């Protein structure tokens, strides 16, 4: 049975909210546990559906996984299966991150093509060409990436684009390769730094984490570790946008504000008063109607594509006109069609959207197409004139632990309702 949220408009969000570990980090860290025989413990895990799904992926290759609240305990056997083609693989994008560790440890892997958000084409060409540079053959056969190597040899790898997933897979194969691998034009996201930190704790030798050049000196074996996942900057930023859009006052903890430097600067331009607390969190206070600001999505440290729906939702209720440019995922502007149901004044042209702010949105039934679009629609609903029904909320549940409970605690009025939509 479907579920939707009834979001009552007119809320002002006030209070404190804690952010837990990053979805886009924890799933890769769980995959990294495949690299070492023994028991690895990952703490500060978010309680979202993707974590048990990733646990199923790891079980399918032979691991024992126990998830207890925010702690995942993964016991990796000496003998792992190289086949990761279970049904769980198709349910999340991050499942492809078992490719690098399996190739690293077993020198071969059969990994089902991943699922995940419908936000546009997500090819694996850079993942494959990187592994080929290390000496593996890779093909796509019967819906799987098939990789095989006699030995893995360190190499110079240039990425066409700083892809997060490709950087992670090549890195996780290279840590157990012979010799030195240099990944140039590597992704610099905080989640990449997190995985480099964990791999280093496991005995890997990595230089340049957080820069465009990662140098990996291969080692023979890695050992298990205990690692705490970094706070989810995308969830943290969602709360920052929520504070600005509802003219609220939110203190957000559990996330490093430096991971959001550009985002917080943009929100200051929109009129927010922002205080940051070392590496622990920040407070956002918005008194008046926000002012429009332009946004351009780019790899980190640019403005994250995952935050683009919030940029659109904010612009829809701001004073003035904003230009929003999406450089990563062409299909992400589908979200704007849903925003237009809420009477947003927006036009798209290729990679660009022009959004003219209106005083108030008009409630309507809307459909979430991915995690962030769904959360963006909830925030827009908080700024609409009556009750906005947000459907397909399973997307939101994949990325936001206790979202409705937190919103209601902070002053929103939202109900989760079971039942099928009466869609025309």
* Beta carbon of residue 325, minimum distance to ligand UD1 (angstroms, whole number): 14
* Beta carbon of residue 399, minimum distance to ligand UD1 (angstroms, whole number): 9
- Which residue in 115, 135, 165, 381 binds ligand UD1 (CB under 6 A)? 165
The number of angstroms, rounded, from the C-alpha of 220 to the middle of its chain's C-alpha atoms is 31
* Strand, helix or coil for residue 67: strand
- Which residue in 42, 72, 109, 126 binds ligand UD1 (CB under 6 A)? 126
Residue 24 contacts ligand UD1 per CB under 6 A:
yes
By CB under 6 A, how many residues form the interface with ligand UD1?
A: 20
Residue 122 contacts ligand UD1 per CB under 6 A:
yes
Measured over the CA atoms of residue 295, residue 195, residue 20 and residue 339, the dihedral's sign is positive
Count CB neighbours of 128 within 10 A. 21
Residue 232 contacts ligand UD1 per CB under 6 A:
no
- Which residue in 40, 60, 163, 246 binds ligand UD1 (CB under 6 A)? 163
Residue 350 contacts ligand UD1 per CB under 6 A:
no
Measured distance CA(32)–CA(259) in Å, rounded: 22
The mark string for 80-119 relative to ligand UD1 (x by CB under 6 A, - otherwise) is -------------xx-------------------------
Give CA separation, 276 vs 247, 269, 297, 328, 341, in Å. Answer: 18, 16, 23, 29, 36
Query: Which residue stretch of 32-40, 164-172, 175-183, 257-265 sits at the interface with ligand UD1 (rule: CB under 6 A)?
Result: 164-172
* Beta carbon of residue 123, minimum distance to ligand UD1 (angstroms, whole number): 4
Which CB, 158 or 277, lies closer to ligand UD1?
Answer: 158
What residue is closest to ligand UD1 based on CB? 165
Contact 128, 159 (CB under 8 A): no
Residue 185 contacts ligand UD1 per CB under 6 A:
no
- Which residue in 13, 84, 164, 202 binds ligand UD1 (CB under 6 A)? 164
Count CB neighbours of 295 within 10 A. 24
Measured distance CA(165)–CA(175) in Å, rounded: 16
* Beta carbon of residue 37, minimum distance to ligand UD1 (angstroms, whole number): 26
Which CB, 166 or 172, lies closer to ligand UD1?
Answer: 166
Running DSSP on this structure, what letter comes out for residue 313? H
* Beta carbon of residue 45, minimum distance to ligand UD1 (angstroms, whole number): 15
Residue 124 contacts ligand UD1 per CB under 6 A:
yes
Give CA separation, 234 vs 20, 73, 260, 410, 413, in Å. Answer: 11, 25, 9, 19, 23
Residue 316 contacts ligand UD1 per CB under 6 A:
no
Residues contacting 262, CB < 8 A, separation 6+: 301, 302, 303
* Beta carbon of residue 360, minimum distance to ligand UD1 (angstroms, whole number): 30
- Which residue in 4, 82, 105, 127 binds ligand UD1 (CB under 6 A)? 127
Which CB, 328 or 396, lies closer to ligand UD1?
Answer: 328
Count CB neighbours of 66 within 10 A. 12
117 annotated active-site = yes
Measured distance CA(161)–CA(252) in Å, rounded: 32
Residue 306 contacts ligand UD1 per CB under 6 A:
yes
Residues contacting 163, CB < 8 A, separation 6+: 126, 127, 187
Contact 308, 326 (CB under 8 A): yes
Residue from 117, 194, 249, 397 carrying the catalytic annotation: 117
DSSP notation for 121-183: ----HHHHHHHHHTT-EEEEETTEEEEE-SS-B--EEE-SS--HHHHHHHHHHHTTSBSEEEE
* Binding region for ligand UD1 (CB under 6 A): 24, 93-94, 121-127, 161, 163-166, 304-306, 328-329
**Residues belonging to the active site:** 117
């Amino acid at each position: 049975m479907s579920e939707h949220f009834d979001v009552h408009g007119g809320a002002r969000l006030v209070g404190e909210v804690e952010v837990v570990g990053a979805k886009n980090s924890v799933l890769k860290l769980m995959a990294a546990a495949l690299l070492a025989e023994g028991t690895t413990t990952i703490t500060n895990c978010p309680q979202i559906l993707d974590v048990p799904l990733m646990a199923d992926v790891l079980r399918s290759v032979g691991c024992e996984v126990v998830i207890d609240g925010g702690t995942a305990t993964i016991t990796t056997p000496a003998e792992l299966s190289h086949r990761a083609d279970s049904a769980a693989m198709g349910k999340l994008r991050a499942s492809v991150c078992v490719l690098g560790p399996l190739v690293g440890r077993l020198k071969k892997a059969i990994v089902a093509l991943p699922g995940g958000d419908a936000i546009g084409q997500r090819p694996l060409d850079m993942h494959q060409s990187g592994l080929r540079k290390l000496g593996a053959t890779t093909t796509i056969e019967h819906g799987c990436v098939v990789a095989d190597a006699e030995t893995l040899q360190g190499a110079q790898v240039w990425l066409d684009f700083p892809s997060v997933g490709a950087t992670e897979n090549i890195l996780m194969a290279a840590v157990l390769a012979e010799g030195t691998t240099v990944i140039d034009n590597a992704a610099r996201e905080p989640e990449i730094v997190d995985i480099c930190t964990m791999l280093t704790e496991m005995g890997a030798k990595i230089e340049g984490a957080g820069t465009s050049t990662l140098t990996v000196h291969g080692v023979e074996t890695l050992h298990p570790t205990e690692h705490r996942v970094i706070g989810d900057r995308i969830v943290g930023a969602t709360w920052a946008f929520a504070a600005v859009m509802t003219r609220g006052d939110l203190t957000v903890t559990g996330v490093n504000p430096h991971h959001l430097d550009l985002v917080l600067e943009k929100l200051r331009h929109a009129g927010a008063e922002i205080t940051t607390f070392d590496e622990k969190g920040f407070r956002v206070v918005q008194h008046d109607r926000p002012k429009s600001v332009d946004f351009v999505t780019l790899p980190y440290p640019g403005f994250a594509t995952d935050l683009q729906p919030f940029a659109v939702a904010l612009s829809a209720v701001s004073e003035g006109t904003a230009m929003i440019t999406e450089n990563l995922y062409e299909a992400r502007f589908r979200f704007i069609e849903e925003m237009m149901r809420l009477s947003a004044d927006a036009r798209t042209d290729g990679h660009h959207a022009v959004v003219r702010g209106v005083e108030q949105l008009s409630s309507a039934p809307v459909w979430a197409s991915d995690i962030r679009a769904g959360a963006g629609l909830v925030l827009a609903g908080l700024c609409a004139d009556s009750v906005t029904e947000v459907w397909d909320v399973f997307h939101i549940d994949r990325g936001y632990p206790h979202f409705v409970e937190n919103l209601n605690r902070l002053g929103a009025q939202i109900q989760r309702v079971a039942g099928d939509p009466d869609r025309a």
